[in-house]
Amino acid sequence: MMSSLTRLSGALLLSTMLATTAVLPAQASGVMRLDEVPVGELDPAKALDNADSLLMFNVYDTLVLPAQGQPGHVPHLATGWTIDGNVFTFTLRDGVKFQSGNPFTADDVIFSIDRMKAIGQGNSYLFQIVESAVALDPMTVQITLSETYSPFIASLIRLPILDRAEVMEHLGPGEGEMGDWGQAWLSTHAAGSGAYEVVSHNPQAETVMVRNPDYFLGVPEAAPDEVHLLYGLEAATVRAMIATGDHDISSQWLPPEVLAAMVGDGAHLLQQAGVGGFYIKLNTLKAPLDDMNCRRALVNAFDYATAVAINQVTPDVAAAVPATGAITVGMFGANPREDGVLTRDMDAARAYLADCAYDPADYTIELSWIAEVPLEERLALLMQQNFGELGFKSEIVRVPWALYTDLVSSPETTPHVSQIAVNAVTGDPDTLFYPMYHSSQAGTWQSPEYLNDAEVDAALERGRTAADPEERDAAYHALNDRLMELAPTIYAYDLNEVFAASPRVTVPAMEDPAYDFSLDAMGLTFRLIVMND
């Protein structure tokens, strides 16, 4: 049996928390307002995107948290754990209470897993390999997996723990003993132990939360008393509201020039290190892109430097970082940035085109962009120009997100070219690359390439089953090399999320790398934010 965490890990969490709060000046708290795109999903079993993650990370707790400023995970609702093959045994934190006042026990962990699997939405795919979850005693839970999955600990940051007793009191009609598993009630209410409680929730408009006075770690005095998460604000509205002091933190989806203008108005920038990239995906089953040399031609013709420049906010800050290959820098298998970044090479592009079985003049390539992300239109125009230099005709197609997810369910209706920003939902490369490239995953919004390659599948499977970090790193290096050879995707740039914030707030986790969680949305942990007036 291998002990993963001991009392030292508990001490690490405490020191991390103390270090974080030590840099926060004890100033008056108040009301904080921020925004995201709609819709905000409050049910933990259905949570999927950024808005949902903001709610989950603040209203609910998980067994572990990402370590701040370094790799790995630290205890949270668990104080430690051991791993013996596919068996994970967790010691739970005593004395934690849910917002209802009910005590936290192993039964709540088991219920949360069972509910996630039964509902089968959101990030539930991460927990379908849980064969059993049993309570060894009220404060010890043992989870057995049906197959080896090395990054299981990382997955637990996507398992918000629910108050079983509270949910059981609000079961709605449905099949079986559990009815709807409380879905109707949890769509507008919360059953968590987190640092903030939900006062009201309108998924199209606004969620209002207030601090939990009984939170087991405490909420610093400088943190917000009340938080308003608004959905679907226009860029001009956000800019005006932050300038007048009526808003505090923008979403990361604003155009670079708007963020730059907000800096000119007195806002400052927040940055969240990305654990993903911006991917231009090529349909490998549709001519002429079913020819690898044709794809390689496009990959080499793409102007990577201009794509990064399109995302420049200030001379020092951009929402894009040059990519070094298929795998994001900082993950297993990535090429270090100091060894070079991807660049345009028209000589190589023409050489590959000469080996392509198709005449580019015979085809019109569909360059799609997501209607809700205007920046993608600029990248589509860049591709049209770049690919045109090789003789390709192209048509730019604006596609609403809801339609796009339907189109990619069939290779025949999937555009030649799609644009997607994707992050690893757990921070581990498995949750980024397995859904994108394993042949079993083809035909989703993450996998419109329809790639089917035995070497890619083998590397992905080794990456998720190898226990040794060096072996995992080797597996992802092999994946990186194979993807660059096959060219199913143009790796436009690594992501760097940029937000604008009013002078009223300081966000250490997004302003100081020593406190960076390196996980999408985790930087906006409300209890670690400082209200400056």
Average pLDDT over residues 305-319: 95
CA angle centred on 213, ends 73 and 105, rounded to 5°: 55
How many other CB atoms sit within 10 Å of the CB of residue 444?
12
For residue range 367-378, list pLDDT tens digits in order: 999 987 888 999
**pLDDT score at 401:** 87
Sign of CA dihedral 74, 99, 510, 41: positive
For residue range 159-215, list pLDDT tens digits in order: 999 999 999 999 999 999 999 999 999 999 999 999 999 999 999 999 999 999 999
Are 516 and 71 in contact by the 8 Å Cβ rule? The answer is: no
Structure-block tokens of residue 77: 């609702």
- What are the structural domain ranges in the chain? 2-246+502-513+521-531, 273-496
The yes/no answer on whether domain 2-246+502-513+521-531 falls in CATH 3.90.1170.50 is: no
Could you give the CA distance from residue 186 to residue 420 in angstroms, rounded to a whole number? 30
Could you give the CA distance from residue 307 to residue 494 in angstroms, rounded to a whole number? 11
**H helix or E strand, kind and range, residue 76:** none
**pLDDT score at 20:** 36
Distance of CA 468 to the CA centre of its chain: 25
Decide if 2-246+502-513+521-531 and 273-496 have a common fold: no
DSSP class of 121: -
Are 192 and 164 in contact by the 8 Å Cβ rule? The answer is: no
Could you give the CA distance from residue 478 to residue 480 in angstroms, rounded to a whole number? 5
Q: Read off the pTM.
A: 0.88
Is the per-residue pLDDT at 12 higher than 60? no
How many other CB atoms sit within 10 Å of the CB of residue 28?
10
Are 161 and 61 in contact by the 8 Å Cβ rule? The answer is: yes
φ, ψ for residue 314, nearest 5 deg: -130, 175
**pLDDT score at 29:** 52
Is the per-residue pLDDT at 7 higher than 90? no
Is the per-residue pLDDT at 23 higher than 80? no
Could you give the CA distance from residue 303 to residue 345 in angstroms, rounded to a whole number? 9
Q: What is the CATH number of domain 273-496?
A: 3.10.105.10
Three-class secondary structure of residue 1 per DSSP: coil
**pLDDT score at 199:** 97
Three-class secondary structure of residue 187 per DSSP: coil
